Structure 1
Amino acid sequence: MRIAIAGAGNVGRAIARELLDNGHQVLLIDKNPKAMKMQSVPDAEWLMADACEITSLDNAKLNNCQVLVAATGDDKVNLVASLLGKTEYGIPRVVARINHPKNEWLFDSSWGVDVAVSTPRIISALVEEAVSVGDVVRLFSFRKGQANLVELTLPDTSSCIGKTVEEIELPDNASLAAIVRDGQVIACSAHDVFAAGDELLFVASAAAESQIKACFIQS
């Protein structure tokens, strides 16, 4: 897979190294000469250009990319690059970095963004997940307003302890993806039995997210 990354700063280069290790082709784009640290990611393609200009993106052959990652430190640049990538080049998957939480509402399909990644939100979610038992915690949004990865840690008082997966009726648009128990990930089946301390991972819509707790925790 050929992946273009707009922004060759620390974040962009780190993403590039991970993707290269996974066997993908990576193009790093940045207009700042100081960001052209080619020796730090020698296996990537490099292009010194403005990711907000059509001529630059033409030179990058963006139409040959399957994914665009807008990873600069400027939300305006990330939005414009995302919109151009989606509307002008038809890139199937556009992932955009959110630097400032107040701008999160902008990062949706109207700007060509398929997946928006907010570092502050992820960190706060991980903090919540570490200290919250019995509450539903949103960890990640796959598509803004459509699907979220959420977590619920079962307390000792949970009404579902000792019951099997198939005995619990989940709300519409919610699916139990995995159970994490004693550090092990269980790809749950209908006959798995819930235990206290289980971390349950769900993929759910925002509406279903608010109903999940009622399925496992008695009020």
Structure 2
Amino acid sequence: MRVVIAGAGNVGRSIARELIGNGHQVLLIDRDPLAIKTASVPDAEWLLADACELASLEEAELETCDVAIAATGDDKANLVHSLLAKTEFGVPRTVARVNHPSNEWMFDDLWGVDVAVSTPRLMCALVEEAVTVGDLVRLFSFRGGQTNLVEMTLPDTSPRVGVRVGDLDLPGDAVLVAIIRDGTARSPERDGAVEASDELLFVVDPDYESELAHYLSPRGRAALVGVHN
């Protein structure tokens, strides 16, 4: 997979190293000559250019990329890069960094953003996930908020404790995608049962989050942490 990263700061370089370590090809673009630190990610391609200019993206052959990541510290630049990548070059997948949570509402498909990553909100969600039991916590929003990744640590008072996975009558289009038990992630098996203190990960439409929270823990609430729609 070929990935372009707009922004070669600490965030962009860290992402590049991870992707290269997983066997992907990475192109880093930055307009600041001081950010072009080729020795820091020697296996990446580097381009000194403005990632918001069509000519620069043509030079980068963005149409050959599978994913475009906008990782600059400027939300306006991240939006423009995502929009150009999606509309002008047909990049299948765009991921954009949100620096200021107040701007998060703009990071949607109208600006060509498939996935928006807001570090402050993600950190809040992870804190909530670590300390709450019986509440549904939104960890991540996909495709402009149309589908969310949510988590609940199942309380021992839940009526679903001991129920077979295959017998769970989840509301809407909710899908149980993983169970974390004793620190180990496992795939849900139809004949396996959910247990108290299991961390359950679901993909669900946001319209059904409250129903899912009530189904798993009737006293619970849908904790909408990490995303503003």
Q: Give the TM bin, normalised by the shorter chain.
A: over 0.9
> d(CA) in 1 for partners of 2:127 and 2:77?
29
Deviations 1:189-219 (A, max 9, x none): 1111121101100000101112111112134
Deviations 1:100-135 (A, max 9, x none): 100000000000001111101110000000111000
Partner of 1:58: 58
SS at match of 2:208: helix
Partner of 1:213: 213
Partner of 1:138: 138
> d(CA) in 1 for partners of 2:156 and 2:36?
54
1:166 maps to 2:171: no
> d(CA) in 1 for partners of 2:168 and 2:115?
30
Residue 143 of structure 1: how far off its partner (Å): 1.4
Percent of paired sites with the same residue: 63
Partner of 1:175: 175
Output the TM-score relative to the length of structure 1.
Answer: 0.98
Residue 166 of structure 1: how far off its partner (Å): 2.1
Partner of 1:204: 204
Could you list the runs of 4 or more consecutive aligned residues of structure 1 that deviate by over 2 angstroms after TM superposition?
A: none
SS at match of 1:144: helix
1:136–1:150: 8 Å Cα contact kept in structure 2? yes
Partner of 1:191: 191
> d(CA) in 1 for partners of 2:63 and 2:217?
49
> d(CA) in 1 for partners of 2:189 and 2:215?
18
User: Structure 2: any 5+ residue segments left out of the alignment?
Assistant: 220-229
Query: Number of aligned pairs?
Result: 219
Partner of 2:104: 104
> d(CA) in 1 for partners of 2:2 and 2:217?
45
Residue 176 of structure 1: how far off its partner (Å): 0.5
Amino acid at match of 2:167: E
Amino acid at match of 1:78: N
Question: Which sits farther off after the overlay, 105-114 or 143-152?
Answer: 143-152
Partner of 1:49: 49
Question: Which sits farther off after the overlay, 66-75 or 139-148?
Answer: 139-148
> d(CA) in 2 for partners of 1:11 and 1:217?
38
Amino acid at match of 2:159: S
> d(CA) in 1 for partners of 2:111 and 2:138?
23
Partner of 2:14: 14
Amino acid at match of 1:174: A
> d(CA) in 2 for partners of 1:33 and 1:126?
35
Amino acid at match of 1:9: G
Partner of 1:74: 74
Deviations 1:145-200 (A, max 9, x none): 21111001111111111211122210112101111110111201111112110110
SS at match of 2:196: coil
User: Structure 1: any 5+ residue segments left out of the alignment?
Assistant: none
1:168–1:215: 8 Å Cα contact kept in structure 2? no
SS at match of 1:122: helix
